[in-house]
A and B are shown apart, each in its own frame.
Chain A
Amino acid sequence: MTVLLDIAEVSKRFPVTGGPGLLARFRRRLSGGPENLPKVYAVDDVSFSIDKGETVGLVGESGCGKSTLVRALTRLLDVSYGSIKLGTRELSLKAARVFARDRDRARIQMVFQDAGESVNPRFTAFAAIADPLRRLRKLRGKALRERVETVAAQCGLPLQLLTRFPHQLSGGQRARVGIARAIAVKPELLVLDEPTAALDVSVQVVILQLLQRLKTEFGMSYLFVSHDLSVVRLICDRVLVMYLGKIVESGPAAEVFEHPLHPYTQALVAAVPRLHEGRDERLRLAGEPRSPIDPDPNVCRFYGRCPRGADACKTTMPALRQFGARHVACHFAEEFLPPLRTAS
Chain B
Amino acid sequence: MTDIAAIPPAASGFAAQLRHSRYVIAENPVTGLAFGLFVLILVAALIGPWIVPYDPLASDTAVTLQPPNLHHWFGTDQLGRDIFSRVVVATRLDFTIAVASVALVFLMGGLAGVAAGYYGGWTDRIVSRIADTIMAFPLFVLAMGIVAALGNSVQNIVLATAIINFPLYARIARAEANVRREAGFVEAARLSGNSEWRILTYQILPNVFPILVVQMSLTMGYAILNAAGLSFIGLGVRPPTPEWGIMVAEGAANIISGEWWVALFPGLALMIAVFCFNLLGDGLRDMVDPRRRT
Is A in direct contact with B (CB under 8 Å) within the complex? yes
Which residues in B have their C-beta under 8 angstroms from that of A55?
A: none
Which residues in B have their C-beta under 8 angstroms from that of A99?
A: 190
Beyond A76-B187, A112-B184, A167-B290, is A136–B192 a contact (Cβ under 8 Å)?
A: yes
Residue of B nearest to A103 (CB): B193
Within A1-49, which residues are at the interface with B (CB < 8 Å)? none
Which residues in A have their C-beta under 8 angstroms from that of B4?
A: 158, 160-161
Within A222-241, which residues are at the interface with B (CB < 8 Å)? none
B179-195 contact mask (Cβ, 8 Å, vs A): 1 or 0: 00001110111111111
Interface assignment of B206: CB less than 8 Å from any CB of chain A: yes
Quick check: B12 and A168 within 8 Å, CB to CB? Answer: yes
Which residues in A have their C-beta under 8 angstroms from that of B155?
A: none
Beyond A101-B195, A106-B193, A172-B1, is A118–B12 a contact (Cβ under 8 Å)?
A: no
Interface assignment of A109: CB less than 8 Å from any CB of chain B: yes
Quick check: A100 and B184 within 8 Å, CB to CB? Answer: no
Which residues in A have their C-beta under 8 angstroms from that of B11?
A: 164, 168
Residue of B nearest to A98 (CB): B195
Quick check: B3 and A132 within 8 Å, CB to CB? Answer: no
Category for how many chain B residues contact A:
20 to 34
Which residues in B have their C-beta under 8 angstroms from that of A165?
A: 12, 290, 293
Beyond A118-B185, A168-B294, is A76–B191 a contact (Cβ under 8 Å)?
A: yes
Quick check: A160 and B191 within 8 Å, CB to CB? Answer: no
Residue of B nearest to A172 (CB): B3
Which residues in A have their C-beta under 8 angstroms from that of B294?
A: 167-168
Quick check: B203 and A120 within 8 Å, CB to CB? Answer: yes
- Binding site secondary structure of chain B: helix
Interface assignment of B207: CB less than 8 Å from any CB of chain A: yes
- Nearest Cβ on chain A to B125's Cβ, whole angstroms: 11
Interface assignment of B55: CB less than 8 Å from any CB of chain A: no
Quick check: A181 and B195 within 8 Å, CB to CB? Answer: no
Beyond A167-B290, A168-B11, A206-B1, is A100–B187 a contact (Cβ under 8 Å)?
A: no
| Bound-state Cα–Cα, A119 to B3, Å | 20
Quick check: A135 and B12 within 8 Å, CB to CB? Answer: no
Task: Identify which of A100, A105, A135, A182 gathers the most chain B CB atoms within 10 Å of its CB.
Answer: A100
Quick check: B185 and A120 within 8 Å, CB to CB? Answer: yes
Which residues in B have their C-beta under 8 angstroms from that of A309?
A: none
A98-132 contact mask (Cβ, 8 Å, vs B): 1 or 0: 01110001100110111001111111100000011
Quick check: B188 and A112 within 8 Å, CB to CB? Answer: yes
Interface assignment of B258: CB less than 8 Å from any CB of chain A: no
- Nearest Cβ on chain B to A193's Cβ, whole angstroms: 9
Quick check: A110 and B12 within 8 Å, CB to CB? Answer: no
Question: Pick the contact of B192 from A117, A124, A132, A156 — CB < 8 Å?
Answer: A132
Within A164-212, which residues are at the interface with B (CB < 8 Å)? 164-165, 167-170, 172-173, 178, 181-182, 203, 206
- Nearest Cβ on chain A to B75's Cβ, whole angstroms: 51
- Nearest Cβ on chain A to B188's Cβ, whole angstroms: 5
Residue of B nearest to A124 (CB): B12
Within B160-207, which residues are at the interface with A (CB < 8 Å)? 183-185, 187-196, 198, 203, 206-207
| Bound-state Cα–Cα, A4 to B293, Å | 45
Interface assignment of A97: CB less than 8 Å from any CB of chain B: yes
Quick check: A168 and B187 within 8 Å, CB to CB? Answer: no
Quick check: B291 and A76 within 8 Å, CB to CB? Answer: no
- Nearest Cβ on chain A to B277's Cβ, whole angstroms: 25
Which residues in A have their C-beta under 8 angstroms from that of B206?
A: 120, 122
* 9 sampled A-B residue pairs with Cβ under 8 A: A76-B191, A99-B190, A110-B188, A120-B185, A121-B290, A122-B206, A135-B193, A161-B4, A164-B10
Which 9 pairs show the lowest CB-CB distances between chains A and B? A118-B184, A135-B193, A132-B192, A117-B184, A120-B185, A136-B193, A122-B206, A131-B192, A118-B188
Q: A168-B7, A203-B3 are in contact. List 9 more A-B contacts (CB 8 A).
A: A109-B191, A112-B184, A120-B189, A120-B207, A121-B207, A122-B207, A161-B4, A164-B7, A168-B11
